[in-house]
Amino acid sequence: MADDSFDIDDAERRMRGALQSLKQEFAGLRTGRASASLLDPLVVEAYGQTMPINQVGTVGVPEPRMLTVQVWDKGMVSAVEKAIRNSGLGLNPNVDGTLIRLPIPELNQERRTELTKIASKYTEQARIAVRNVRRDAMDELKRLEKDAHMSQDEHKSWGEKVQKLTDKIIGEIDAALAHKEAEIMQV
């Protein structure tokens, strides 16, 4: 009777959104290797507004331990350099005309441990987001049963499906954390 009244696909989409958000957060964590996504969160004060760094220049990875930003407008070079210096990423930009080189320094053990703690914090936020989606789905199931749009058996069946989905997504989140920790700790 109520197979079409409860949308488990919406819950899965929202849970996967939390996982995708976590992966984007992980991309911004600096490991010992260069990654163009490291600069994704940075914004530059340009033309009277803030813009992502990839909208004022081309971000490249010419070497495993080097990032480059080829700034398109010569007048924006100092603004991009300032944004990188003030980002808290620990990068020291070298300006050469419109090209900004960013050598990626080697991480020390203390910084690696700190980064794994940050990764764990991001992971816990993603788990909380998934659990909140689960709670919303369970509340929806209770409401449907209370309003006589669903039987108790259907409620229980859908509840088990929501729980299995939650466990699956949490497992993927934990696997992503394990992968990121291994990447950070790799010397």
Can you point out the beta strands (E) in the chain?
43-46, 49-52, 57-63, 66-71, 94-96, 99-103
Is 79 part of a structural domain of the chain? Answer: yes
By CB atoms closer than 10 A (0-12, 13-18, 19+), residue 161 is middle
Give residue-wise pLDDT tens across range 90-136: 788 999 988 999 888 777 888 788 888 888 999 999 999 999 999 99
Verify that 112 and 141 share a domain, yes or no: yes
Q: How many domains does the chain have?
A: 2
Q: Is the pLDDT of residue 36 over 80?
A: no
Domain harbouring 121, CATH code: 1.10.132.20
**Of 21-25, 29-33, 125-129, where does the model show the most confidence?**
125-129
